[in-house]
Amino acid sequence: MLRLTSPATVAVLAALTALGPLATDMYLPAMPAMAEALGTGPDRVQLTLSFYMAGFALAQLFCGPLSDRFGRRPVMIAGFALFLLASVLCAFAPDVEWLLAGRFLQALGGAAGPVLGRAAVRDIHGPLEAARVLSYMASTMAMAPALAPVVGAGLLLVFGWQSIFLLLAGYAVVMLAILVWLLPEPLPVERRQSIAPRAILANYRLLLGQRAFVGYTLTNAAAFAGMFAFLSGSSFVLIEFMGVSPGLYGVLFTLIVGGFFSGSLISGRYSHRLGRDRLLRHATRLCALSGASMAALSLLGVYSPWAVIAPHVLYMIGFGIVMPQSMAGALAPNPECAGSASSLFGFLQMTLAALGGALVGQFHDGTSHTMAIAIGLGGVLALLAYRGLVNTGRATIMPKARDTG
C-alpha cells in the first residue's frame, strides 16, 4: 500500500481525477465522424457531452455522501467498475440513443474519480495545504486533456471512433487495479458521517447557507461552463466551419491545455504568496476579458482559428487559477463533510456546464457565434459571482503553516 502523504499518492489521486477530462476530451475530434457514422446531426452528438455532464452532476449528489459514510475507496471502486462497463457499451452502440445511454452511465460511474479525489486531498491535507496540492494536481492532470484529443484523433484515423471508448475502458481497468491493491483508505473511521437522508440534507443546507461556499462554487461553475462551451462546440467550429483537420485540431487543443497548465502552475506557485482572493480577482478578470474578446471577434466576422484559439488560451490560464483556488475555498471550512461539499460543488459545476453545452448544440448556426458568446458569458458571470459573493475588497494572505485539520 502507498503512504497517504507520499507524492505517489498525489499522482494516483491526479490519475483518478483525470478520468473526467479523458472521458470528455478524447472523443472530441471524432464527433463529426460519429455523427456521420450513426446517421445523426451535430446537435445529437453534442448531446453526448451534455448527457455526460448531467449524469456526472446527478452522481455527485450521491457518491460524496456515500463516501462520507463508507469511505472513499469502496465508492471509487464501484464507480470505476460501472465506468468500465459503460465504456464498452459506448464502443458498441448501434445508434445515437444507445450512445447517449452509455455516456450517461459512464458519467454515473466516472464521477467517483474527480469528486472523491478532491475529497481525499482534503482528508489527507489541511485546508491551507489543500489549495497548493490541488493546484499541482491540476497542473499534472493537464497532461490528460493535452494528450487526449491527439490520442483520440490518432485512434480515429487508424482504428475508428469505437477504439476511443475501448481505450477508456482499459484506463478504468488500470485504475481499478490501483484502487484495490495500492491506495489506502484516506477517510478515518472516526470522521464517517451518517447516510440518513436527513443528515445529508442537513449538510447541504449548511453548505448552501454559507456565502463563501456559494460564491466560490458559482465562480468556478460559471468559468467551467465557458470552458465546457468550447469542448461542446469547438470540433464543429474548427473542423467543419473553419476546415481544420482532426489531427491539427488535436495539436491546437494542446495549446488550450497549455494555458490551463500555466494557470495551474501559477496557482500553485503563488497560492501562499498572493493569497486566494488576489489570485481569483485577477483570474476572473482574465476569463471575462478573454471570453468577451472571442465573442467580439466572432460577431465582427473574424473567422480565423486563431481568433478562437488565442482568446481561449488566455481564458484557460484564468480558469487554471480559478479551479483549484475556488475548490479549496469551498472545501476549506467543511472538513467534517468534505465529501458532501465536493459533491455539491461538482453538482452545481456540472449542471451549469450541461445546460450551457446543450444550448450551444441547440443554437449552433454553423459559425463560431454561439460558442464564442457562451464562453464570453461564462467569463463575465464568473467575475460577477466572485465580486458579488466572495470578494472582500482586500487580498487574504494565507499563512505557510500547515493545518492538519
Query: pLDDT band for position 135 (50/70/90)?
Result: low
Q: How many percent of the chain have pLDDT more than 90?
A: 36
Average pLDDT over residues 19-29: 84
Q: Which domains does the chain have, with CATH numbers?
A: 7-183+205-390 (1.20.1250.20)
Residue 345: is its pLDDT beyond 90? no
Q: Residue 232: its pLDDT value, please?
A: 81
pLDDT at 163: 96
For residue range 227-237, what is the model confidence (pLDDT) as tens digits?
889 988 888 89
Task: Dig out the grid coordinates for 149 from the structure.
Answer: 484529443
In the predicted structure, residue 245 carries a pLDDT above the cut 50: yes
The reported pLDDT for the residue numbered 336 is 67
The CA-CA-CA angle for residues 343, 345, 346, to 5°, reads 65
Section 255-277 average pLDDT = 83
CA max distance for the chain: 60
CA distances from 270 to 28, 278, 325, 329, 400 (A): 33, 10, 11, 15, 11
Residue 182 or residue 119, greater confidence: 182
Cell numbers describing residue 256:
488550450
Whether the pLDDT of residue 128 is over 70: the answer is no
- Whether the pLDDT of residue 106 is over 80: the answer is yes
pLDDT computed for residue 317 by the predictor: 95
Task: Give the model's pLDDT for residue 304.
Answer: 93
pLDDT tens, 56-68?
888 877 887 788 8
Nearest alpha-carbon partner for 375 in 263, 283, 298, 262: 298
Mean pLDDT of 14-40: 86
Is pLDDT of 405 > 60?
A: no
Contacts of residue 237, Cβ cutoff 8 Å, sequence gap at least 6? 308, 367, 368, 371
Over residues 197-219, the pLDDT tens digits come to 787 788 888 888 888 889 999 99
Cell of 178: 490501483
pLDDT given for residue 126 in this prediction: 65
**Block residue for cell numbers 499522482:** 11
- Could you say which DSSP state residue 386 is in? I
Q: What average pLDDT does the structure give for the chain?
A: 84
State which of 83-92, 131-140, 152-161 shows the largest mean pLDDT.
Answer: 83-92
Question: What are 42's three cell numbers?
Answer: 451535430
Residue 111 has what pLDDT?
86
Of the pLDDT bands very low, low, confident and very high (cuts 50, 70, 90), residue 273 is: confident
Q: What is the pTM of this model?
A: 0.71
Give me the mean pLDDT over the 222-245 stretch: 89
- Please check whether residue 216 is in contact with residue 396, taking contact to mean a CB–CB distance below 8 angstroms: no
pLDDT digits (tens, 9 = 90+) for 93-104: 999 999 999 999
pLDDT at 127: 60
Task: Confirm if 332 and 130 have CB atoms less than 8 A apart.
Answer: yes
Please report which helix (H) or strand (E) contains residue 51, including its range: helix 42-70
State the pLDDT at residue 309. 95
241 neighbors 367 (Cβ within 8 angstroms): yes
Of 179, 148, 176, 134, give the one whose Cα is nearest residue 10: 134
